Structure 1
């Protein structure tokens, strides 16, 4: 795929056998998913920048992510960490120096969740001075349930994976209106990533049933969207091919102006490239 200068893949995970996993979350033992492995895949996506998200397997040990940022270079890589409120200010500052720019709360399922909802506000206050944001992998139902919590957040927040709106009624789900409002207010961002999580039509169709939702978000707030490959696709085994991921990206971003905005300008603003 032709590269767009400074295009960013805003969502990958690195699994490196040099770092011990402490939670039995995703079985990636047979998958090559270290920083060097991503280097070989990245040209298929047409990107040169990347955001590495600490996987659940490492609990709140973000060393694997910081090391991957170092290997890829901070001029091209940023990270999203997972922590709990007992982290010290000095440790947060060290993560910032290592390229971390946000905290993720993967709460869509209680299984293997390293954090809890009651940790979100205290940590949001702690990271405000660093200029970080929160990355929320929640179900659509959780977004509705915790609307008041989201409204109170003192920092920007990013919804993972299309905000996990369920098909076929994604556009009429109450969470859709909430997320749309936060995007339009300039408080939220959203990742166009991992369409296979909620698609019913599957890989053979190129996840075509997600296209209407992608178009909705592009129409609503093109200045608040980023794109991510979700490599190495921990929730989809066997994983989709890099070629199919790139084809889906092209289908969503038909306009050169939209490609520039979502792949380059937006992630530069959100992650501080």
Structure 2
């Protein structure tokens, strides 16, 4: 498989791609009002990754985070999170994973974090987009969709379900998408195990469609350590081999892995 320069086949400790550490007591800062997980800043050619606890300045300048916050979070706590590098909050709408949070509470949180210039990450399943459409389109911030809204990849990429998601992005330029987690979406595989460098082929047309149509509003990460994934644990190095299949040019890869995360998490450094 041909690979663009500066984007390694398998990440080493110094060249891994930008990916958030998932919540655990050793990898995130937690109080009763918020939980934060951290991203590391991409260098000029390819992002790096590592799990972090709540960083202190000046190290915080090299990391950014998303947090799960409650309505009870204080303005002082939000300011502390901002100083530490938090730049977004995450709202989870996957019904099998979380209890319902009143939308007025989430909208109140969104209005508060908008003042800090943060974004909202939304996690939902494709079948639920119609009922969530009005709420999502009313959010006052940049909105980042986790995993392309979890499309059913057994359905056609040009079918009505995925077309609705593309319409969502076309009509709302504040909406971005992560094109990550093929291991969660794939039905037919093959899985990223045992040296398989063409894994999750049924997901490729969906992710490539999003990358090519919205190259300036896409992000990627491994989703390590893959919480709640029960049927297999993918080789994260092999997940990197997924990138050239969905972003086939060096220009698309740089936007996906460097330029876009810099714009979202470190906009003050953009010229």
Given the two structures, how large is their TM-score scaled by the length of structure 2?
0.76
Matched, 1:214 2:207: yes
Map of 2:246 onto structure 1: 252
Aligned pair count reads: 241
Matched, 1:266 2:260: yes
Matches within 5 A, 1:121-270: 121-169=107-155, 171-172=157-158, 174=160, 176-184=162-170, 185-202=172-189, 203=191, 206-237=199-230, 238-270=232-264
Offset, 1:150:
1.4
RMSD of aligned Cα (Å): 3.4
Q: Secondary structure at the match of 2:89?
A: strand
Name the structure where helix makes up a greater proportion of residues: 1
1:134-166 C-alpha deviation (Å, 9 max, x unpaired): 100111122211111112111110100121111
Map of 1:60 onto structure 2: none
Q: Is there any run of 5+ residues in structure 1 with no aligned partner, and where?
A: 23-33, 53-64
Map of 2:34 onto structure 1: none
Q: Structure 1 residues 150, 201: CA separation in 2 closer, same or farther (over 3 Å shift)? A: same
- Partner Cα distance (1:20, 1:74) in 2: 13
Q: Secondary structure at the match of 1:146?
A: helix
Q: Structure 1 residues 131, 174: CA separation in 2 closer, same or farther (over 3 Å shift)? A: farther
Deviates more, 1:159-168 or 1:113-122: 113-122
Map of 1:12 onto structure 2: 21
Matched, 1:104 2:90: yes
Q: Is there any run of 5+ residues in structure 2 with no aligned partner, and where?
A: 1-6, 32-36, 193-197
